[in-house]
Amino acid sequence: MGTLLKVKNLSKSFGGLLALKEITLKVAPQQIVGIIGPNGAGKTTFFNCLSCLYHPTDGEIEFDNTPLATPVSNSVKKRVRISAIVFLILGFIRLPLFWSFFLPKTFFKVELFLLGIFILSIRFLLVRGLLRHEIWAWGLMFIFLLSDVCFALLFLTRLDPSNTFFLTPVPLHYIAIPWGVAAGLFGFYFIGLLCTQNVRGLFGFRTSPDAVCRMGMARTFQNIRLFYNLSVLDNVKIGRHGRLHSGLGKTLLKTRFQRKEEVAVEKEGLQFLRFVGLEDKAFDLADTLAYGEQRRLEIARALSTEPKLLLLDEPAAGMNARESENLIQLVKNIREDGTAVLIIEHDMKVMMNLADYIYVFDYGRLIAEGTPDAVRENQKVIDAYLGGGKDVC
Amino acid sequence: MESLLDQSSLFLQQLVNGITLGGVYALIAVGYTMVYGVIQLINFAHGEVYMLGAFLAYTLVAVVGMPFFPAFVLTLIICAVLGVVLDFVAYRPLRKAPRLAALITAIGMSIFLQNMALLIWGSQIKSYPREVLPAFFSEAAITMGDVTLSWLQIFILSITLLFMIILHLTIHKTRIGMAMRAISQDKTASALMGIGVNRVISFTFAIGSAMGGMAGILVGLYYNAIFPTMGYVAGIKAFAAAVLGGIGSVPGAMLGGGVLGIAEVMGAGYISSEYRDGISYAVMIAVILFKPSGLIGKQLGEKV
Amino acid sequence: MPLFHRNPRILFLAILFLAIILPWVPLGVSSNYLLRVLTTAVLYMILALGLNIVPGFTGLLDLGYVGFYGIGAYTSGLLAIHYDLSLWVILPLAAANGALWGVLLGAPTLRLTGDYFAIVTFGFSELVVLLIRNELWLTRGPMGLPGISAPSIFGYTLSQGWQYFYLALFLLLVVLVVVVRLENSRLGRAWFAIREDEIAAQCCGINLIRYKVMAFAASAAIGAMGGAFYAKWFRFIHPDMFKFWESILILCLIVFGGMGSISGTMLGALILIPLTEVLRTALPQSMFNARYLIYGLLLVIMMRLRPEGLIPFQLSRSRKAEQAKARLLGGEE
């Protein structure tokens, strides 16, 4: 039985504030793991790092044997920054001195301009591969973009649209130039992709939240985030988004594939609603649901993404005793179905009943971990959280 | 080829003009930035307050016959009141509404005010008749070779500087300034601390609008051309200045205004005068794309 | 009646059919005028449907729509003047050009927050107009672009007012089909999700940038197509026709009718555009130039009193939901 989620020494700081310090955590498939801790202990921040909404300051996250975030060595960062600055300076020196003054006007032909755009696209795309994964690659790309824009503009000031190899009427160039740029970008997209595959290993990278969802990690939120102006069923259908395949073309042409998919989505959506007990409210606006029902809807939406791991952020908040019991049963059913659950909860009854293993957070650090019974007895936990000597459940 | 001396004096003259224009933009930009700081809304109607300031001063001086300096002060007061009314009528009811609704309201108010001015004053360009202005305005005060600095420019620069200093002192040394800074960081917490949030916001609008109106009067004097659509373009440029300096930061707005004014005058002089407005748009787009937090501003994240 | 209840699109087609009957009412000279007004209304319906995709479906304020309108108009005008092309070539080309610019502008700017994005779109449309006005070698600038040939369909050149009306109607139908199909699909739902809550949408597997750019490009394509039609209809275009006010007007149409709902958007255009014409005849010229005063006021009032518009988005969604329920329970289960 392998590990589904592996977190090693995760740290996150916001400016001067250290929210998480060296968290190490593991979740096995079909396991229910709990996280408890006082408010402000960093639990939701932890979830946000897992979903890749935040970029960890340090540490590693590995989900389903795929790294979500790995640290970047500082020497590599420095090297990249230095080369970026060198590129920039070269670019700026080269342009005004050389292009505008020393070359004869006949040099500035439209086709050469387009060619220049193609070549610059390669450089752009080489960096673009980093973009998806590493936040500071943005800076690099902007530097290149700035330099390239300057090149393009200066070239344009010397460019006379009638100066071409081919004889076409003047206005067409104005339309042709952006097409040339677009063709260059698309044309070199694959080359750029190939070149950047290895680059990924060199630098660290971060996955985007939507990719994380597609990989199989879904979550709910502490303050419920539903799509309130849509119907209950629509909310769940949106959860199916990552598992469907109809794109722009198929939608516009209303192909059989798309129509079949829509029918299937409707059925599947109702099934998930049935699972949480909201089937009869399928066509009501999400706005109109009661608080407990809204929480269940959020869980249904998360489940419809077919996750391997479900992150629940305080699902029992604001629930009475009966609702909590239903929730416990629901989470057990989810585990039966094959999904692991990582759950943050303050309600001790829920937690002790559900969790196979518990981690305890306090001020951003892990102060204890173990089975529910072990944690209950642990003195540090009692002092920090449960209140010395009080009966728990 | 012009002599080096001619070139440098042209450059200096442009610089002087640029700084003057920059001061005006800074005045307007400060209004934008303060309002954005407290309620996170781009007050599109701010440009219109600027325009109304110009028109009000003109009407008081040229039509009603008031002497200049009292008219100046009266216009400032009216503009401040106008700003407060704007907030009360259009923005306050939408404090809790989604951002899109507030933005649309701001645009609606801007359009309404602009066309209101068009209706009242007509689309003809108005200018101050010579007699009603204090005589020394058009005289040159300092002349160094070919570079002249008129009394009007000195007036504009000194008033701008004076009010910037007053504003800075207000924000950092008075209680209400502290309240403004508190609200821009966390509105709910400020309210819980006993700060009358709505009153402070009204005060912010009052100051911002007064400064915007003052900028309008100054520009009306400087270019001697007042027309209803002047707020539209100046508004966007001032917003560009505010963004350049870092929206939400008052010293940023001052810096951004200065930089943009100089860039615009230099650009119009040396590159192309047709794309004069385009320079501001391009600067704004560039700043927004590459460094949205501006030169001085701070980046704000969203709490999940 | 059950037919209408089952599919509101049929209801609207019925209304459209009635609109077709109208031009045949013989009213002498005034019938040409009425035709022109109706054609303008249909054109604005097309434009409003296009704009609706961005603030209506996806929740992003786009202030630069007139830029795409202008690009489409000038693309079509220039193509018509320099080449002799059929209408069916010009319209898709103009739409494609619009979409391209939508992608070029959208890709870098759509990662910004809503306020900044609105300002950038505004700046873009202003730059487009400035470019049109100043680049004389391309667009003849302030002299305008006269002499655009009338549209030719399969060799037959359009000349009568009612022929343009039917053409506009046909284009409206095409755009309507496109937009309705988009609304009830995975793509449309992704857009709604982005509008409602971006972070939750991301955590449901929706790549924000990709879908925002798609929405922007789609809206740009429709706007450009509207512009292309306009150029071929009016046969003369001038930079002053593409001012920022047009963007506001179209925004007003969708805010008034109901942002996000297709029928609301069309209703908004159908009501406000003829109203503009009534104002044009009723008000003196000086006041007419200030008609945007009313639109500004309308925006403010609508946001205050009925931000959902005439036909709220939720209504159209739940109506479709009712149909879906009926279909499911009655049919395929």
Which 3 state secondary structure label does DSSP give B164? Answer: helix
- Is the pLDDT score of A393 beyond 50? no
**Of the listed ranges A191-200, A228-237, C152-161, the one predicted with least confidence:** A191-200
Q: What residues contact B196, with CB distance under 8 A and at least 6 apart?
A: none
The better pLDDT of the pair B137, A257 is held by A257
Tell me whether residues C321 and A233 touch, CB distance under 8 A: yes
Which candidate in C185, C208, C327, C329 is best for mutational testing of the A interface (most A CBs within 10 A)?
A: C185
pLDDT at position A344: 93
Please give the structure tokens belonging to residue A247.
């794109």
Q: Are C124 and C67 in contact (CB under 8 A)?
A: yes
pLDDT at position B75: 92
pLDDT at position A11: 87
* Closest residue, chain B, to C284 (C-alpha): B119
Residues C46 and C50: their CA atoms lie apart, in Å, by 6
Q: Are B252 and B296 in contact (CB under 8 A)?
A: yes
Nearest to C203 among A178, A219, A244 (CB): A219
Which candidate in B100, B114, B123, B304 is best for mutational testing of the C interface (most C CBs within 10 A)?
A: B100
Residue C84 touches chain B, beta carbons under 8 Å = no
* Closest residue, chain A, to C178 (C-alpha): A252
- Is the pLDDT score of B304 beyond 70? no
Closest by Cα among A298, A302, A293, A371 to A337: A302
pLDDT at position C333: 37
Tokens 């099934």 found at: A271
**Of the listed ranges A47-51, C150-154, C248-252, the one predicted with least confidence:** C150-154
pLDDT at position A188: 47
**pLDDT tens profile C46-64:** 999 999 999 999 989 899 9
In single-letter form, the type of residue at position C54 comes to: V
- Is the pLDDT score of B185 beyond 60? yes
Give the closest-approach CA distance of C81 to chain B in angstroms.
26
* Closest residue, chain C, to A52 (C-alpha): C203
Which candidate in B46, B85, B110, B281 is best for mutational testing of the C interface (most C CBs within 10 A)?
A: B281
Q: What angle do CA C192, C195, C198 make, to 5 degrees?
A: 110
Give the closest-approach CA distance of B286 to chain A in angstroms.
9
Q: Are C23 and C34 in contact (CB under 8 A)?
A: yes
pLDDT at position A196: 42
> Where do runs of H (alpha helix) occur along chain A?
43-50, 74-94, 100-102, 110-131, 137-158, 170-187, 189-202, 209-215, 232-239, 248-253, 256-276, 291-303, 321-336, 348-354, 372-377, 379-381
**pLDDT tens profile C234-244:** 888 888 888 88
**pLDDT tens profile C104-141:** 888 777 877 777 888 888 888 888 888 888 777 777 77
Tell me whether residues C325 and A283 touch, CB distance under 8 A: yes
Integer-rounded Cα radius of gyration of chain B: 19
Residues A21 and A367: their CA atoms lie apart, in Å, by 11
Closest by Cα among B234, B250, B236 to B295: B250
pLDDT at position C290: 66
- Range ranked top by mean pLDDT from A146-155, A320-329, B62-71: A320-329
Categorize the per-residue pLDDT at B19 as very low, low, confident or very high, splitting at 50, 70 and 90: confident
Give the closest-approach CA distance of C127 to chain B in angstroms.
6
Give the closest-approach CA distance of B230 to chain C in angstroms.
14
Residues A246 and C177: their CA atoms lie apart, in Å, by 17
Tokens 């700060």 found at: B195
pLDDT at position C109: 79
Residues A245 and A235: their CA atoms lie apart, in Å, by 18
Those of residues 189-218 in A touching chain C at CB distance below 8 A are 208-214, 218
Tokens 């590599």 found at: A76
Question: Mean of the per-residue pLDDT values for chain C?
Answer: 81
- Is the pLDDT score of A107 beyond 50? yes
The string over B105-116, giving b where at least 16 C-beta atoms fall within 10 Å of a residue's C-beta and e elsewhere, is: bbbbbbbbbbbb
In single-letter form, the type of residue at position C294 comes to: I
pLDDT at position B294: 72
**Of the listed ranges A71-80, B250-259, C210-219, C261-270, the one predicted with least confidence:** A71-80
Tell me whether residues A221 and B289 touch, CB distance under 8 A: no
**pLDDT tens profile C274-313:** 888 887 777 776 666 667 788 888 888 888 888 888 878 7
Relative to beta strand A5-14, strand A58-63 is: antiparallel
Residues B74 and A311: their CA atoms lie apart, in Å, by 61
**pLDDT tens profile A243-275:** 888 888 878 887 888 888 889 999 999 999 999
Relative to beta strand B140-144, strand B147-150 is: antiparallel
Tokens 């690659």 found at: A137
Integer-rounded Cα radius of gyration of chain C: 20
Tell me whether residues C104 and A178 touch, CB distance under 8 A: yes
Give the closest-approach CA distance of A142 to chain B in angstroms.
6
Tell me whether residues A44 and B289 touch, CB distance under 8 A: no
Give the closest-approach CA distance of C40 to chain B in angstroms.
23
Residues B108 and B90: their CA atoms lie apart, in Å, by 9
- Is the pLDDT score of A356 beyond 90? yes
Domain ranges of chain C: 32-328
pLDDT at position A389: 45
The better pLDDT of the pair C3, C230 is held by C230
Categorize the per-residue pLDDT at A371 as very low, low, confident or very high, splitting at 50, 70 and 90: very high
Q: What angle do CA B116, B120, B123 make, to 5 degrees?
A: 90
Mean of pLDDT values over B148-172: 84
Residues B216 and C283: their CA atoms lie apart, in Å, by 31
pLDDT at position A127: 60
**pLDDT tens profile A27-55:** 999 999 999 988 877 899 999 999 988 87
Centroid of chain to Cα C223:
6
Give the closest-approach CA distance of A145 to chain C in angstroms.
11
Please give the structure tokens belonging to residue C300.
């403010």
Q: What angle do CA C315, C318, C324 make, to 5 degrees?
A: 145
Give the closest-approach CA distance of A224 to chain C in angstroms.
9
* Domains annotated on chain B, with CATH: 4-290 (1.10.3470)
**Of the listed ranges A68-77, C203-212, C243-252, the one predicted with least confidence:** A68-77
pLDDT at position B1: 46
pLDDT at position A173: 56
Q: What is the pTM of this model?
A: 0.81
In single-letter form, the type of residue at position B293 comes to: S
pLDDT at position A194: 40
The string over A64-94, giving b where at least 16 C-beta atoms fall within 10 Å of a residue's C-beta and e elsewhere, is: beeebbbebeeeeeeebeeebeeeeeebeee
Please name the chains neighbouring C, where neighbouring means 3+ C-beta pairs under 8 angstroms: A, B
The better pLDDT of the pair B244, A150 is held by B244
Nearest to A142 among B290, B301, B304 (CB): B290
Q: From its phi and psi, is residue A73 left (phi > 0), alpha (psi between -120 and 50) or beta?
A: beta
Q: What angle do CA A376, A381, A386 make, to 5 degrees?
A: 75
Nearest to C287 among B103, B113, B119 (CB): B119
Residues B125 and B286: their CA atoms lie apart, in Å, by 33
Give Cα separations from A24 to A33, A368, B261, C139 (angstroms): 13, 11, 54, 64
Residues of chain C with C-beta less than 8 angstroms from the C-beta of A247: 187
Closest by Cα among A182, A201, A208 to A124: A182
Categorize the per-residue pLDDT at C204 as very low, low, confident or very high, splitting at 50, 70 and 90: very high
- Which run of H or of E encompasses C114? helix C114-134
Which candidate in C128, C299, C301, C313 is best for mutational testing of the B interface (most B CBs within 10 A)?
A: C299
Give Cα separations from C107 to A185, A190, B233, C213 (angstroms): 13, 18, 26, 6
DSSP sequence for C68-88? HHHHHHHHHHHHHHHS---HH
**pLDDT tens profile B73-116:** 999 999 999 999 999 988 888 887 777 788 888 888 988 898 88
pLDDT at position A195: 45
Q: What residues contact A187, with CB distance under 8 A and at least 6 apart?
A: A118, A121
Residues of chain A with C-beta less than 8 angstroms from the C-beta of B301: 14
Relative to beta strand A309-313, strand A217-219 is: parallel
The better pLDDT of the pair C18, C135 is held by C135
pLDDT at position C19: 61
pLDDT at position A133: 47
Mean of pLDDT values over B212-236: 87
Closest by Cα among A309, A302, A244 to A6: A309
- Is the pLDDT score of B239 beyond 90? no
Interface of B with C (CB under 8 A): 41-42, 90, 93-94, 97, 99-105, 107-116, 118-119, 122-123, 232, 236, 239, 243, 274-275, 277-278, 281-282, 284-285, 288-289, 292, 302, 304
pLDDT at position A38: 84
Burial of B65 (0-12, 13-18, 19+ CB in 10 A): exposed
pLDDT at position A128: 59
- Please, which residues bridge with residue B144 across strands? B147
Which 3 state secondary structure label does DSSP give C162? Answer: helix
Tell me whether residues A142 and B304 touch, CB distance under 8 A: no
* Closest residue, chain C, to B45 (C-alpha): C296
- Is the pLDDT score of A125 beyond 80? no
- Which run of H or of E encompasses B147? strand B147-150
Nearest to A53 among B289, B290, B304 (CB): B304
Q: What residues contact A78, with CB distance under 8 A and at least 6 apart?
A: none
Q: From its phi and psi, is residue A387 left (phi > 0), alpha (psi between -120 and 50) or beta?
A: left
Nearest to C193 among A175, A227, A258 (CB): A227
Give the closest-approach CA distance of A126 to chain C in angstroms.
17
Provide the percentage of residues in chain C whose pLDDT is more than 70: 80
Residue B100 touches chain A, beta carbons under 8 Å = no
- Which run of H or of E encompasses A13? strand A5-14
Q: What is the four-CA torsion angle of B302, A72, A26, A368, rounded to 10 degrees?
A: -80
pLDDT at position A53: 85
Categorize the per-residue pLDDT at C211 as very low, low, confident or very high, splitting at 50, 70 and 90: very high
Please name the chains neighbouring A, where neighbouring means 3+ C-beta pairs under 8 angstroms: B, C
Nearest to A252 among C78, C181, C317 (CB): C181
Residues of chain B with C-beta less than 8 angstroms from the C-beta of A221: 304
Residues of chain B with C-beta less than 8 angstroms from the C-beta of C127: 278, 281-282
Q: Are A145 and A200 in contact (CB under 8 A)?
A: no
* Closest residue, chain C, to B278 (C-alpha): C127
Residue A175 touches chain C, beta carbons under 8 Å = yes
- Is the pLDDT score of A141 beyond 80? no
Q: Are A368 and A377 in contact (CB under 8 A)?
A: no
**pLDDT tens profile A154-189:** 666 666 655 555 545 555 556 666 665 555 555 444
Q: Are B185 and B126 in contact (CB under 8 A)?
A: no
pLDDT at position A390: 47
Tell me whether residues B104 and C290 touch, CB distance under 8 A: no
Question: Mean of the per-residue pLDDT values for chain A?
Answer: 77
For the segment(s) C32-328, the CATH number from 1.10.20, 3.40.50, 1.10.3470, 1.20.1530 is 1.10.3470
Residues A223 and C131: their CA atoms lie apart, in Å, by 48
Which candidate in C52, C66, C300 is best for mutational testing of the B interface (most B CBs within 10 A)?
A: C300
Residue C250 touches chain B, beta carbons under 8 Å = no
